[in-house]
């Protein structure tokens, strides 16, 4: 058997038995299994270990760019909790003229009062601004299986003789979605892509045959980003900022000259305005602390890494290099201040000036409120 062409069925890395420190390492005896997985995937799946490997951006772009030269149906997966942070910029350049389905994952994290029709309309408008006309939109929870049947229906309707390429940034749930889909299409074996909460699990394209169909479904590596807090914190703190169940919004009635800390990763100063409410949409396990603006500097200096965590000592000092974003809002529609990879704070329509401090390089955007 020619082992040189065998790849890990979990992450797509070419299998090899010579270099334990490189992607695709496997014990030689395990190479002969029907669906072999590398040691890294085995440890992620069974021990939830973190096993980073060096995959460069240009390698990701080269792989995804190949889609534009093929006849494909593109399933673009985004994180509903972080749309702007999980959007692949220049997507059309990579995929050519191929049709696109948008799958907005993690719908189960949105608060129960969310109007999903309104969210879908907002998503369509945002994607249209980027020059992409969608064949369809599905709001799903890949981890819970909610509404994934709609994605299957879209694939059956639009794929025809096209292979299905699933693309997105790292850690948006692509592999989890595919595992759901191949079961729905009738796969009964032990074929399964490796999934974890840690970015960069899939290392190369992984092609899986859809039972009873002539085309393949292809998982592509998540394009790595460095503007989301989920990209920058240590694995332990990643658990503190990643929502794992429905968000419970936290409402704060603030007078001006008051401050909110989201752990030690974001500082929100209400600088000027009438007393009003601000609503925080972060992972439930992330602690929010309120203080007076005049005390905020000393509180941060004394308690960052302790009371104000994350960051912890394992995260590195780069997360303590904070940059201030000064924002002014007029009376009008509610707005969301989105902190990429963390969540958002909703400004409830009253005129105000706020300052937001986040680590350098983390994206901050303002949008019309989606809830």
Q: Give the whole-angstrom CA distance, residue 4 versus residue 135.
A: 39
What CATH code is assigned to 55-225?
Answer: 3.40.50.300
Looking at residues 340-344, what average pLDDT do you find? Answer: 97
229's tokens: 């807090």
Domain range list for the chain: 1-51, 55-225, 235-368
**Residue closest to 278 by CA, chosen among 300, 301, 306, 258:** 258
Higher pLDDT, 293 or 94: 293
Query: Are 257 and 367 contacting, i.e. CB atoms less than 8 angstroms apart?
Result: no
> Which pTM does this prediction carry?
0.81
**What's the mean pLDDT when you consider all of the chain?**
87
What pLDDT digit, counting tens, does each position of 138-196 carry? 999 999 999 999 999 999 999 988 999 999 888 888 888 988 998 888 866 655 554 44
> In terms of DSSP bridges, do strands 266-273 and 258-262 run parallel, antiparallel, or are they unpaired?
antiparallel
């Amino acid at each position: 058997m020619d082992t040189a062409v065998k790849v890990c069925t979990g992450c797509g890395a070419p299998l090899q038995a010579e270099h334990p420190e490189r992607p695709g390492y496997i014990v030689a005896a395990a190479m002969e299994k029907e669906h072999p997985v590398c040691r890294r995937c085995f440890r992620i799946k069974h021990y939830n270990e973190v096993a980073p490997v060096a995959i460069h951006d240009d390698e990701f772009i080269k792989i995804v760019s190949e889609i534009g030269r093929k006849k494909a149906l593109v399933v673009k997966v985004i994180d509903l909790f972080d749309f702007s942070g999980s959007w692949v910029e220049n997507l059309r350049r990579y995929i050519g003229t191929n049709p696109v389905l948008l799958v907005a994952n993690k719908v189960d994290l949105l608060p129960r009062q969310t109007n999903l029709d309104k969210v879908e309309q907002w998503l369509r408008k945002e994607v249209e601004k980027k020059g992409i006309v969608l064949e369809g939109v599905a709001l799903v929870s890949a981890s819970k299986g909610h509404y994934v049947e709609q994605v299957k229906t879209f694939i059956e309707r639009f794929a025809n003789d096209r292979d299905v390429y699933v693309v997105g940034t790292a850690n948006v749930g692509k592999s989890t979605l595919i595992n759901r889909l191949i079961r729905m299409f009738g796969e009964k074996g032990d074929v399964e892509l490796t999934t974890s909460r840690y970015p960069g699990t899939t290392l190369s394209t992984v092609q899986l045959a859809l039972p009873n169909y002539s085309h393949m479904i292809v998982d592509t590596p998540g394009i790595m980003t460095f503007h989301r807090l989920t990209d920058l914190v240590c694995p332990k703190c990643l658990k503190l900022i990643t929502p794992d169940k429905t968000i419970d919004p936290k409402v704060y009635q603030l007078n001006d000259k008051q401050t909110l800390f989201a752990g030690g990763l974001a500082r929100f100063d209400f600088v000027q305005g009438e007393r009003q409410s601000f609503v925080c949409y972060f992972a439930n396990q992330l602690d929010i602390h309120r203080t007076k603006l005049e005390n905020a500097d000393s509180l941060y200096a004394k308690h960052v890494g302790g009371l104000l965590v994350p960051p912890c000592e394992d995260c590195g000092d780069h997360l303590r290099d904070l940059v201030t974003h000064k924002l002014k809002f007029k009376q009008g529609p509610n707005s969301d201040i989105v902190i990429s990879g963390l969540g958002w704070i909703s400004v409830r329509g009253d005129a105000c000036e706020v300052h937001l401090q986040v680590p350098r390089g983390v994206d901050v955007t303002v949008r019309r409120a989606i809830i």
